[in-house]
Amino acid sequence: MAVSYIKIDLNAFRRNVRKIRNYIKGEAGLLAVVKANAYGHGVKECLQVALKEGYEGAAVSRVTEGRELRRFGFNCPIYVLGLPLPHEILMGVDSDLILPVDLTVDIEAIEAAAISERKMAEVMIAIDSGMNRIGAHPDEVPQLLEKLKKCSHIHIRGTFTHMATADFKDKDIAQKQLQVFEHALSYMNITDDFVISAANSAGILDIPNSWHNLVRPGIIMYGLPPSQDMTHSLDVESVMSVITHVTHVQNLKKGEFVGYGASFVAEKDMHTATIPLGYADGYPRALSNKGCVLIGGKRCPIVGRICMDQFMVAVDETVKPGDEAVLVGKQGNIELSADEVAEAAGTISYEILCTWKRIPRVFIGE
Ligand SMILES: *Cc1c(COP(=O)(O)O)cnc(C)c1O
């Protein structure tokens, strides 16, 4: 078995996916947001589960991610969330991806690709309701619709926007964004099958008027709350554990240092263990002298700087080479959540989930 691996509990994932579906109670369709390899959880396995649980499609960031899903054999609707550049458009249309458009996208190139591929290209009108990331402002919508109307090989599937602060306790900004979105909608021809989407996980949990007819859960499928300020939770369970094993232990004498830069100096005689993962594996260097790992069911603090492939933790005398060390996840009955690791590293759980590199995934369940 690998010394280090990422354990993905597909049963926990399935339970989370179900809880979200039951919470929505059929009031909107569900898209599994599986960008960035399903937030580091393995896109093929996770998407299979979500589709079996009645989710109607997938959302990815880039055309290349969508094409990869087609290569895996998925034939569900695949929405691309990030704007395509001209050289990606042919690939996007060829792979039957649903492309977002605003006035900066080369719409003629989409039409030309659709003609040459002999198909209808599907697009979603991206609305910038305040985030200033991508999308058309409401007053640009008539012009955009005018452009699209000239393209007989483009079908407007619907529209979407994205909220910047849906995870705040105070929903004022989010509600203002939703009003801007409504303004944009007022220019569109809203038929029964016109897709309208605004809700991320935080919108799903706390802002039912953001649901419209298609919601886009990401982080809650993977078992973490969007933030600590949510009003509602679904008691979702973490899906990912990052597991490795102690490779070396030693006694440290008072006054001796640990690691690069000699940033940790022992104030008394102590024991340390060496963990064979580092920033090249995605473990944040920001955890130097800050984070902890679980060994023997206890939190063991990191001492010294995180190296490229290794780091050291303070342990008791019982720890031996080969003992299991958990960087994220449960050990016995304690849990080191991605939120706790993120807090120590000065980031958010999202970044901790999708940070891992060169570590194999092991799937349990299903
Ligand atoms: C990532 C993303 C989501 C999912 O966000 P979560 O907070 O993980 O639920 C939804 N919509 C868009 C446009 C995104 O980029």
Query: What pLDDT, in 10s, does the model give residues 177-187?
Result: 999 999 999 99
Closest ligand 1 atom number to CA of residue 203: 9
**In whole angstroms, what is the distance from residue 331 CA to residue 234 CA?**
23
Q: Ligand 1: distance of its center to the CA of 160 in Å? A: 12
Top mutation candidate among 13, 167, 200 for ligand 1, by most atoms within 8 Å of CB: 200
Q: How confident is the model at residue 344 (pLDDT cuts 50, 70, 90)?
A: very high
- DSSP letters along 174-231, please? HHHHHHHHHHHHTTS---TT-EEE---HHHHHH-GGG-TTEE---TTTTT--S-TT-S
- In the 8-state DSSP scheme, what is residue 136? B
Kindly state the percentage of the chain with pLDDT values over 70.
100
pLDDT in tens, 212-267: 999 999 999 999 999 999 999 999 999 999 999 999 999 999 999 999 999 999 99
Residues with CB under 6 A from ligand 1: 33, 35, 81, 162, 200-202, 216-219, 226
Taken in order 145, 151, 152, 153, is the CA torsion positive or negative?
Answer: negative
- Whether the predicted pLDDT of 1 surpasses 80: no
Contact 181, 137 (CB under 8 A): no
Give the distance (Å) from ligand 1 centre to CA of residue 242. 23
Residue 244's closest CA among 274, 267, 215? 274
In tens, the pLDDT along 166-179 reads 999 999 999 999 99
* pLDDT recorded at residue 342: 98
Is 119 a known active-site residue?
Answer: no
- Closest atom of ligand 1 to CA, residue 39: 8
Q: Rounded to 5 degrees, what are φ and ψ at 285?
A: -65, -20
CA of 227 to the centre of ligand 1 (A): 13
Which DSSP string corresponds to 289-307?
A: TT-EEEETTEEEEEES---
For the stretch 71-113, pLDDT in tens is 999 999 999 999 999 999 999 999 999 999 999 999 999 999 9
- Which of 365, 330, 342 is CA-nearest to residue 241? 330
- Which of the following is catalytic: 35, 39, 283, 350? 35
Q: How many A from CA of 216 to the centre of ligand 1?
A: 6
Rounded to an integer, what distance in angstroms lies between the CA atom of residue 30 and that of residue 166?
18
Please tell me the predicted confidence (pLDDT) of residue 59: 98
Tens-place pLDDT, residues 294-325: 999 999 999 999 999 999 999 999 999 999 99
Q: Which of 11, 71, 76, 68 is nearest to 35 (CA)?
A: 68
Cα separations (Å) of 241 from 5, 67, 126, 188, 315? Answer: 8, 28, 35, 45, 21
Inter-CA distances, 224 with 133, 330, 339, Å = 24, 14, 8
Q: Which of 150, 169, 260, 320 is catalytic?
A: 260
Residue nearest to atom 6 of ligand 1 (CA): 218
Residues 6+ apart with CB under 8 A from 118: none
Sign of the Cα pseudo-torsion (57, 59, 60, 62, in order): positive
The answer to whether the beta carbons of residues 299 and 333 sit under 8 Å apart is no
- 260 in active site: yes
- Calculate the average pLDDT of the chain: 98
CA dihedral 331, 336, 337, 342 (to 10 degrees): -150
What's the gap in Å between 128 CA and the centre of ligand 1?
Answer: 15
